Amino acid sequence: MGKRASKRNTFNYNVDRKKLKKKMIKKYRPRIECEQIRKAWDINKTTKQNMQDMGLAFGTKGVLPIMSKTNDEPVDQVIKPYVIREMEEEANVPRKDNTTCSTDIIEFVQHMIREYGEDYKAMARDEKNYYQDTPKQIKRKVDLYKRCHPEEHAAFAASLQAQTSS
């Protein structure tokens, strides 16, 4: 009965220690994206305690309790209500739609409308339809153009009206 041999510690060249350390630090202390939560965060408290102070739910478990016949449970006191208020104000700010069409799509759609009007089947057979889009795909492109550039489309439609009337 001899002593059991232990494995010798050897350096593993396949592991990047710098990356591992960065990953561990990132996991241990994640960056809080929401500015209001970051300002109200107390590093001495747990995540659950911090969220409770702000009036937010830490997880889905226990958020909607099963209704009991008697309602004697104490209501949680929100210590930092300004966090919820600021988050709601930020959520209620209207955001501008930044979607746009490429110049190629705009030129393509304008050419098709100029030539065929609303006849999408004829548009699908046009020689300028390089990508062989189906009538539905062309209709989607036209709708996208109308939604993204309403002023430009209105001016284009007005110029078409002026050309056809004269």
pLDDT at 1 (0 to 100): 65
Count how many domains the chain has.
2
Same structural domain, 127 and 81 = no
Cα(127)–Cα(131) distance, rounded to whole angstroms?
Answer: 10
Is 152 domain-assigned? Answer: yes
Together in a domain, 115 and 135: yes
In a domain, 133, yes or no: yes
Backbone region of residue 2 per phi and psi (left: phi > 0; alpha: psi in -120 to 50; beta: other values): beta
Residue 48: pLDDT band by 50, 70, 90 thresholds? confident
pLDDT tens across 2-32, in order? 788 888 888 999 999 999 999 998 888 778 8
Q: Are residues 26 and 88 in the same domain?
A: yes
Q: Is the dihedral of CA 19, 21, 24, 26 positive or negative?
A: negative
pLDDT in tens, 136-151: 999 999 999 999 999 9
11 occurs within a structural domain: no
Q: Which of 27, 59, 24, 54 is nearest to 38 (CA)?
A: 54
Residues whose CB falls within 8 Å of the CB of residue 35, separated by 6 or more in sequence, listed in order: none
In a shared domain, residues 119 and 156: yes
pTM of the predicted structure, to 2 decimals: 0.49
Of the candidates 50, 157, 48, 36, the one whose C-alpha atom is nearest the C-alpha of residue 86 is 36
Are 87 and 27 within one domain?
A: yes
- 5 occurs within a structural domain: no
| 137 belongs to a structural domain | yes
The segment with the largest mean pLDDT, out of 28-42, 82-96, 149-163, is 149-163
- Confidence grade of residue 43 (pLDDT, cut at 50, 70, 90): confident
Q: What is the pLDDT of residues 57-81, one digit of tens each?
A: 888 887 777 776 766 555 667 888 8
> Which range of residues forms the domain containing residue 157?
103-165
Closest CA to 108 of 90, 93, 130, 125: 130
